[in-house]
A and B are shown apart, each in its own frame.
Chain A
Amino acid sequence: MKKLHLTYRHKNILLSAAAVIIACIFLFPLYWIAVNSFKLDSEIFASTPTLWPEEFTLKAYKDQLGSLSVTMKNSVIIAVGSMLLSLCLSVPAAYGLARYKVKGMKLFVLIFLITQMLPASLVLTPLFLIFSKLGILNSYLAPSLSTATISIPFIVLMLRPGFLSIPKELEDAAKIDGCNALTAFFRVAIPISKPTVITAACFSFVFAWNDLAYSMTFNTKEIMRPMTSAIYTFMNQYGTKWNSIMAYGVLLILPSCIIFVTMQKHIVEGMTSGSVKG
């Protein structure tokens, strides 16, 4: 029997083809969200689903315009607020943990590691009671404050290795030139770590943008709802209007998709370092 010997080129083509097929099957749900958002009601209700819209239409998007203007504004404000808050706190913390030998460092890292693992559902009831006492339910503050707790530990763990790899001599040189600790942080450490800090900003925006649990619990008034809880309410009311639901879905996944596609390499690296170790 003659043994089959594949040349490198053949193997390359074969494996690449297999990878493309895997990716197509795996990413089908993404395609399905997009393609169904361009269909008419009648086509969605047809007994056999169509892989491509028979009549390509933007009607599902137009139907949602009224409510979207409010919910999208809410989502943007909450996510930007959460992002700014979390960057202001987590970037210095990551830097401090990398640059300074402080007592209790292990404990600090441990606090971030543990709080990162604890889910929203643990603190929903107590935070609701606390926020209602403070009178900040149905405001932008409540969801921004609470979603920042998702990204802060993640960013600290993600940025620390980068700050650790900055040679100390660089900052020492800056200090000779008249920099103090604070200016060394702003003028040396941050510019060097710019790509990862930008990635961190993206993560914190996306985490807050994606949140359902906190915003749904704290902002029950329709006018204060972000897109995630609005789409959920919409589904409960008009469960079968899938084209409208998917149109909403497209707009909800758009920021994550744009961020992911434009800075994929940094995002993927950040994911591993942010969720695994210190």
Chain B
Amino acid sequence: MQSNKREKKEQILGYFFIVPAIIYMLTFIGYPIAYNWIISFQDVTAKTLGSAARDFIGLENYKMIFIDLTFRKALLHTFVYTIGCLVIQFSLGFLFAIFFAKKFALSKPIRGFIVISWMLPVTVTALVFKFMFAESNGIINTILMNLHIIRQPIGWLLQGNTAMLGLIIANSWVGIPFNMLLLTTGLNNIPEDIYEAASIDGASKIQKFLKITIPLLKPTIMSVLVLGFVLTFKVFDLVYVMTGGGPVDATEVLSTYSYKLSFQLFHFGEGAAVANVLFVCLFLVALVYLKTISKDEVI
């Protein structure tokens, strides 16, 4: 009886600490997401914005966006961008992690320092890359021309394909150190004596990498890739500032297109529908992520 009462008191105290934050998140993220689904079935324009009674129009908004060519392009671009970023930031991040895992005087300070790019406002990152990729007097064109790799200055952000490449490079500047950091944590968790035992058995460096590092790092690799997917797929600031979705709509992604529909064209219903497509994609991948991490550890 006594212990039961005490347990109950513990429960109440626990809720007292936890519940305010939960209510906050449900109010400002959970409720808006649910509300977003309702908006996406309504006819919401600048005119009907203030009125309480908005017409339900069923799947009309979804029909509109799926026959919309720009939406289809945005969906494709989001995947191209995400996969491009993942390939670059994972492979280079992995190389960096292995390099900085070597023991030398400056390894730790420099490894720690390059992570700074993750802390900077994406707005500024986008602006400086836009500046560096500029056609006339951009530093990237100047360097490439001095190295005789290109003859004429390239308008990087003025053509569809190169603009997408520019975005991927700018995002990787933030993504590489982040991937490196998470992979380093994973590498440090591999016990040193496994490598020593393998050395005694005469294993080569490549053998050790393929037979020890990769298998033991697999859970980390999985979560880095899936988390990277979620974080990259939701890109907004970078694209919005660097290319604004242009030239024409060559770099339009789901988030920028949703923003454009809602806040520039005032088709709030369609904007909400595009955001919901983004939500479904993210949610599916997030489920995979939660499954992978809950296998390794108790959440």
Binding site for B on A (CB under 8 A): 11-12, 15-16, 18-20, 22-23, 26-27, 29-30, 32-33, 36, 44-49, 89-90, 92-93, 95-97, 99-103, 106, 108-115, 117-130, 132, 145-146, 148-149, 152-153, 156, 181, 185, 206, 209-210, 212-213, 217, 228, 231-232, 235, 242, 245-246, 249, 252-253, 256-257, 259-260, 264-265, 267-268, 271-272, 275-278
Contact = CB atoms under 8 A, between A and B. Distances in A.
B119 A153 contact: no
A15 B104 contact: yes
B171 interface: no
A15 B102 contact: yes
Between B13, B30, B177, the greatest number of chain A beta carbons within 10 A of the residue's beta carbon is seen for B13
Given A124-B262, A277-B293, 7 more contacts: A102-B10, A111-B30, A126-B31, A129-B44, A130-B32, A217-B263, A253-B124
Dominant secondary structure at the A interface:
helix
A181 B173 contact: no
Contacts of A213: 236-237, 240, 259
A101 B50 CA distance: 45
Contacts of B231: 117
A89 B236 contact: no
B131 A265 contact: no
Interface residues of B, number: 94
Dominant secondary structure at the B interface:
helix
A241 to B, nearest CB: 11
B24 A96 contact: no
Interface string B52-96: 000000000000000000000000000000000000000000001
A213 B249 CA distance: 20
B107 A15 contact: yes
Nearest to B236: A121
A128 to B, nearest CB: 7
B10 A100 contact: yes
A102 B29 contact: no
Nearest to B286: A117
Between A100, A153, A265, the greatest number of chain B beta carbons within 10 A of the residue's beta carbon is seen for A100
B41 interface: no
- Listed from nearest, the 3 A-B pairs whose CB atoms lie closest are A96-B17, A100-B14, A119-B234
Given A23-B110, A102-B11, A252 B121 contact: yes
Given A117-B286, A129-B39, A102 B14 contact: yes
B123 A252 contact: yes
